[in-house]
Amino acid sequence: MLKLEIVTPEKRVVDETVDSVTVPTLSGEAGILPNHAPLVSVLKPGVLTFTNKGNTEKLAVAGGFVEVNSDKVSVLTDVAENAAEVNVESVRAEKDDAEKALSAAAASSIEETADVRDRIEFANARLQLAGK
């Protein structure tokens, strides 16, 4: 069993024992099971999944960090939302704004547009979670 904690600046979103966790890292999805090797990694915006006794829950996360140590998984993120918390119309508007900003900044460097691309990825994750 794994002890999973997901914390945002506002609140502790999850604090429970789970069977497995999958997190979106910069190098792809990372599956975490009990006895996982110690790990610290940057999270990219995406969908975090955790399973407990056959029940799977998903949260859209806005990036952040994950630390795995001694069967404890700690996730620090600015935002973590479940499907019920996603306002689809608002997210679509945010995504449209970010895509327009990215188009306007087409001549900018990759580093300069990273924040905008992260906003688009987070919007996509939220829409995927909401099934839209």
Across the range 91-98, mean pLDDT stands at 86
> Which pLDDT belongs to residue 24?
96
* pLDDT tier at 132, thresholds 50, 70, 90: low
Residue type at 59 in one-letter notation: L
> Which pLDDT belongs to residue 87?
83
Length of the chain: 132
E runs forming strands in 1-132 = 2-7, 12-18, 20-25, 28-32, 39-52, 55-69, 72-76, 80-81
> Which pLDDT belongs to residue 42?
95
Quick: pLDDT tens for 105-124.
766 676 777 888 888 889 88
> Which pLDDT belongs to residue 97?
85
Q: Which long-range contacts (CB under 8 A, 24 or more apart) does 7-11 make?
A: 7/74, 7/75, 7/76, 7/77, 8/77, 8/78, 8/79, 8/80, 9/78
CA distance 73 to 2: 7
φ, ψ of residue 98 to 5 degrees: the values are: -65, -40
Instruction: Work out whether the CA dihedral 19, 24, 26, 29 comes out positive or negative.
Output: positive
The two three-digit tokens of residue 49, written as one number: 């999944």
Quick: pLDDT tens for 35-91.
999 999 999 999 999 999 999 999 999 989 999 999 999 999 999 998 888 888 888
SS3 content of the chain, % helix, strand, coil (to 5): 30, 45, 25
Residue with the larger pLDDT of the pair 2 and 107: 2
